[in-house]
Amino acid sequence: MALLFSFPVFLSTIMAGWQPSSSIGSIIRTFLSKYSLIRPNRIYPLLLIMLPFPAVNAHVRVGVTCGFLSSLNHHSRSISTPAFVPNNQNKVSRFNQQQQQRQPGGFRMVTTTKQRAASTKAEISSKIKEDQHSLVSDMLYRIRECNTPIPRDVIEFCVDGKTLGKVTPNLAKLLCSYSDKETESPVFQLTTKEGDKSVSTSPSRRILTLGEEAGTTCISRTNAIMSVMEQLRDDGFISGWRDELYPIAEGFYDEPLLLIERAAVPFVGGLEYGVHINGIVVVPSNKDGDDITTKMWMARRSKTKSKYPGMLDHIVAGGQPANMGLMENVIKECMEEAGIPDELVRKGIQPAGAISYETYVVPRNNRQGEKDDQIGVVSRAVMFCYDLTLPDGFVPKVVDGEVDHFFLWTMDEVMECMGKAYNDPMKPNCYVVVIDYLMRKGYVSPETPGYLDVLRELRSGYCC
């Protein structure tokens, strides 16, 4: 009986790879491989042999399966499996030379640390895998530059029971400390979700909302908030005042409950929307035209721009005004920023989803321009992404002076620019849109650890 117990334990131990250098283990593995016993439909006879011994049955099954999996790791290394097989449309030249190389096994294999150490040599040989790992790591770095951690104690800004924004408790207190200049009654108030004004209840249930004095119409609320925001501007908290009213609603398609000066949107943690366009050119890269190289138009921002002067940018991007349709805005921005005629836009444009991010910003918020860590704001953005395929030969023109010049990049150059140490980076949120493009178009293999994190974090903000 002891033998009945010990043999399966011994067998499963070997097969699970705990003695990878053991000659007995090798012999058993070679035997199983040779007679194709380690294929899924061959494992069951092995299990059947063990059936008469129910007490050890479960243990053996685990052992056999672990062994089976680890054997298959070796097995699968002999199968040619490129990490990434781009289709014609999206061929990446830097992978071309490496396509013949073989990828070591699958990831997500049942491996122990010892097995990993043993198989390191084989893995190092894969240049593709290494490139993809660093690309994904760079992408996460870039996405996280836009998605800085939001304080855990943020509370919601709610009006009419609808959540419109996110504010830190300190910012909420600051907002509550101001009154309407004319009526001298407070505009903002801290309360609970149930409308109980006592703030003594659990902090997690607190919300920032508007007092009764702010009224119940879009215009009355807008007036009341404007009065507070103008004082915050005068007191040095809000900079970059634009004299442009921005609608605040629960969702993009909802009627706004109030309007707010654009520079003050983060002071209630409201969502800002924009359109971002990837300018794409598809060029045949051999005579037959069956091999294709994709390029992307880039812009160098004007050195006189107030934000991110001289940095790299999309061919076209812009905030979404309240009074326009998205496509109307795309057509307008394409003409204004890059001189792309209406017809070319209509022919080549393709909406391709949206990405979102949340950034915690500590503005310079006093007259001395010093930062006060106590008053940070949550800047939240949703960017509608478009791909615009332009004809080979078309060159964008500088029209409104927001751009210094345009230039065409290969997708290799676009990917190189992701690097953490790249010394001429893009404007931070452009990276996020370009990363979304690379993910949609298959430039990253889903076998690369971090792939799912990139997909998730691309949509950290709100929408999707």
414 contacts: CB under 8 Å, gap ≥ 6: 296, 298, 434, 438
For 4, 9, 47, 422, the CA distances from 51, given in Å and listed in that order, are: 12, 15, 6, 60
For the bound state, the minimum distance from the C-beta of residue 379 to a copy of itself, rounded and expressed in Å, comes to 18
CB-based contact 64:417 (threshold 8 Å): no
Asked whether 209 and 189 are in contact (CB, 8 A), the reply is: yes
Q: Is 103 in the site for a copy of itself (CB under 8 A)?
A: yes
Q: Judging by DSSP bridges, how do beta strands 292-301 and 403-410 pair with one another?
A: antiparallel
Residue 1 binds a copy of itself, judged by CB under 8 A: no
CA gap 167, 182 in Å, rounded:
25
Other Cβ atoms less than 10 A from the Cβ of 83: the count is 25
Per rule CB under 8 A, is residue 76 in the interface with a copy of itself? yes
Joined tokens for residue 199 = 């703030």
Choose the stretch contacting a copy of itself; rule: CB under 8 A; options: 184-192, 299-307, 348-356, 395-403.
348-356
Which of 282, 314, 283, 288 has its CA nearest to residue 301? Answer: 314
| 383: contact with a copy of itself by CB under 8 A | no
Site map for a copy of itself, 236-265, x if CB under 8 A? -------x-x-x-x-xxx-xx--x------
The answer to whether 51 contacts a copy of itself (rule: CB under 8 A) is: no
Binding mask 109-128 for a copy of itself (x = CB under 8 A): xxx-----------------
Q: Which stretch binds a copy of itself (CB under 8 A): 71-79, 142-150, 151-159, 187-195?
A: 71-79
Nearer to a copy of itself, 191 or 227 (CB): 227
For residue 14, the minimal CB distance to a copy of itself (Å) is 13
Instruction: Classify the C-alpha dihedral 337-342-344-350 as positive or negative.
Output: positive
Q: Which is nearer to a copy of itself, 380 or 425 (CB)?
A: 380
One of 25, 86, 270, 376 touching a copy of itself (CB under 8 A)? 86
Q: Of the ranges 292-300, 310-318, 323-331, 418-426, which one interacts with a copy of itself (CB under 8 A)? A: 323-331
Q: What 3-state DSSP class applies to 397?
A: coil
Q: Which of residues 172-231 bind a copy of itself (CB under 8 A)?
A: 182, 218-219, 222-223, 226-227, 230
User: For residues 287-306, which are near a copy of itself according to CB under 8 A?
Assistant: none
Interacting stretch for a copy of itself, rule CB under 8 A, among 158-166, 295-303, 424-432, 443-451?
443-451
Of 64-72, 191-199, 368-376, 392-400, the segment contacting a copy of itself by CB under 8 A is 64-72
CA-to-CA distance for 115 and 437, rounded, in angstroms? 36
- 82 vs 428 by CB, closer to a copy of itself: 82
# binding residues, a copy of itself (CB under 8 A): 99
For a copy of itself, which residue of 148, 285, 302, 389 counts as binding (CB under 8 A)?
389
Residue 14: phi, psi to the nearest 5? -65, -45
Does 405 interact with a copy of itself (rule: CB under 8 A)? no
Angle at 259 between CA 254 and CA 263, to 5 degrees: 120
Nearest to 235 by CA among 144, 431, 369: 369
The residue (of 25 and 425) whose beta carbon lies closer to a copy of itself is 25
State the DSSP string of 354-383.
Answer: EEEEEEEE--B-STT--B-TTS-EEEEEEE
